[in-house]
Structure 1
Amino acid sequence: MNESHLWAAEPHAAYLQWQTTEAAGADRRRFSQRSIVQHKAMFDRFLRHLVTRGVALATFGPEHLDSFFDDVENRCAPGTTTRLRYVKLIDRLCRHLVDVGLRHTNPAATFALSAAWPEDEPEPLFLDTDADTALQCYVQPDAGDDTRLCRNRAVVALLLGAGLTAAELRAARWRDTVIDGIRPEVRVPKRGARLERTVALPPFSTPPLERWQQAHPGPDAALLFPAPRTDDKPINDVLLGAIVREALDAIGFAAPDMSPRVLRNTFARRQLLSGRSNEQTSALLGLASQRTVTRIRATIITPLT
């Protein structure tokens, strides 16, 4: 089977083979394993969109890219470069498909011409020390809390206390969370490019998790935060985002991004303020690169001596 036929018959396998043997970025350097994992997930999402539209890699046109990019933007927080990264990826893909003879034209070329990386990356959003303390107080359980509020306080407490991503929190199970031992901690399994890690839980996060466990008991293998009215499906991103926004509203925090990312950045900044190095903090976040933490450290003003 030649390469063109492989792309038509087994696009997932063809993409992975291309990424691991030939593909390179604008600087001609081969992609890292972490980038390959991310690119493969992006390609899979794009391919699913084409399938729902009844077209294939050889037949999709600009109108299908329009609908795909609109869907990407609708699902992303404002100010992110997600759409741009998809444009670059699909343009690179289409140029390769032309090279191997599967396509005659590149429908992504027009999109790529108008796409450019921002000159300056947006400054990461986080809670300052006072707002961080206020949110830690907000998540503490109250005698009048109903089940919904118990869950919401526990969700925010875990995000703020352990620096989990939204996807990691949605996948968390009770067996991964130890709150009654000498050293409360949460174990975060490897997920995609994110490294496996164990994060110690700070004292403020354990009371809301204990109250949630009492309000919604389950076996060790059960999801920590299942979707409402079910125990086998995780809470979805829309509800998770609403929970975080409600908590941030409660302490008077307002910003363009009110997502779980703000709490993850706050966790990272708290580690840096406590004296941890970029390498140590990146490890707590499950990151192989220190780029994110370096940007967060830049927000810390060092007093003049």
Structure 2
Amino acid sequence: MDTSLWHTNPTAAYADWQAREAAGADRRPFSARSIVQHRAMFEHFRRHLLERGATLASFGPEHIAALWHTRAGARHGVATRMRYLKLLDRLCRHLVAIGVRQTNPAAPLVREAHWPEGEPEPIFLPEAADACLQAWVHPAPADDLSQLRSRAIVALFLGTGITVAEGCAAMVGDLHPEAAPPYLRVPAHGARDTRTVHLAPFAVPILAAWQQRRATLPIAGDLIFSMQTTGQAMTVKTLGVIVRAALEAIDFSAADMSPRILRNTFCRRQLLAGHARDDVSAMLGLASPRTCDRIAATIADDAPLQEGIRL
């Protein structure tokens, strides 16, 4: 068996192995979306090793442990770390089998690790607070440029349910508040396919107003929201500060004041409106209905859920 590709081009070797042989614990092939996710995770770990002068043939448990102390790894929750360990365990077992490695440093880490027993309760805006924030995003005659932009940013998250990364990357050409119905096109990225999300009615006036105002500004690039002087994407931190300020403006406080709470609120609003969980998952760009299941569980039994929503 020719194993040279694992030494000369690990990325290509991993893709080839995954396409031909890799499978889950039940020996079933991985889905196309899982394959994309696994390749991204492998590439992230490969670069991690490269920065530390290690290779797939030489890395040890200390290199895996160091992954959690990187800037990106420090943000990984228990479930994400477990997914990395499972991936590295599968990989190392294969590398041992074909003679590229002598040991599997991931094996003892997998045995000691555990999937989280429960997931945290999702945080969302109650219906009254959701209504208040919807009113807050409406454009006002006295708005200056900063205030208009802040309202539009909050409206985009609250009215489409996109992720903060998708908000950072959203382009002017993808936003169509004048269409019938108004919509946002979210390009494919990572494991997520391109999708179209209809804008909530409350978000249309402010997004149309921002789009018109933006067209008059000397902003470089085509991002919907960017740093005016450079045209670079706004940072996650800046967007978080804007969302927090909007929530504080309506006297709402929670443990999570990030754009995530607006995404969860969008999801819950769709479920309350009678949309089936698979459809809502598609709106959110999710392959699994697990997020919708968790948020649907927060809806009281006597809430006005329609057919197809109850789990």
TM-score w.r.t. structure 2 length? 0.86
Q: Tell me the residue number matched to 1:159.
A: 157
Aligned CA distance change for structure 1 residues 119 and 141 (closer, same or farther; 3 Å):
same
Q: Is the 8 A contact 1:228 1:235 kept in 2?
A: no
**3-state SS of paired residue (2:196):** strand
Following superposition, the deviation at residue 106 of structure 1 comes to 2.2
Q: Tell me the residue number matched to 1:241.
A: 240
Counting only pairs closer than 5 Å after superposition, residues 1-305 of structure 1 correspond to structure 2 as 2=2, 4-71=3-70, 72-76=72-76, 81-217=79-215, 222-231=222-231, 233-303=232-302
Instruction: Give the gaps of 5 or more residues in structure 2.
Output: 305-311
Following superposition, the deviation at residue 304 of structure 1 comes to 8.8
How far apart, in 2, do the equivalents of 1:55 and 1:95 lie? 18
Following superposition, the deviation at residue 222 of structure 1 comes to 1.0
**3-state SS of paired residue (2:68):** helix
How far apart, in 2, do the equivalents of 1:271 and 1:243 lie? 24
Aligned CA distance change for structure 1 residues 302 and 248 (closer, same or farther; 3 Å):
same
Aligned CA distance change for structure 1 residues 13 and 141 (closer, same or farther; 3 Å):
same
Write out per-residue CA displacement over residues 163-182 of structure 1, whole angstroms, 9 at most, x where no aligned residue: 11222222211111112344
Following superposition, the deviation at residue 161 of structure 1 comes to 0.2
How far apart, in 1, do the equivalents of 2:94 and 2:47 lie? 20
**3-state SS of paired residue (1:187):** strand
Write out per-residue CA displacement over residues 176-198 of structure 1, whole angstroms, 9 at most, x where no aligned residue: 11123443211122223223222
Give the aligned residue type for 1:63.
Answer: E
Following superposition, the deviation at residue 274 of structure 1 comes to 0.7
How far apart, in 1, do the equivalents of 2:293 and 2:129 lie? 22
**Which of 29-38 and 130-139 deviates more?**
130-139
**3-state SS of paired residue (1:106):** coil
Write out per-residue CA displacement over residues 134-185 of structure 1, whole angstroms, 9 at most, x where no aligned residue: 2222323344444333323212211110111222222211111112344321
Q: Is the 8 A contact 1:184 1:200 kept in 2?
A: yes
Task: Report the identity percentage.
Answer: 53
Over the residues paired in the alignment, what is the CA RMSD in angstroms? Answer: 2.6
How far apart, in 1, do the equivalents of 2:259 and 2:221 lie? 24
How far apart, in 2, do the equivalents of 1:255 and 1:84 lie? 28
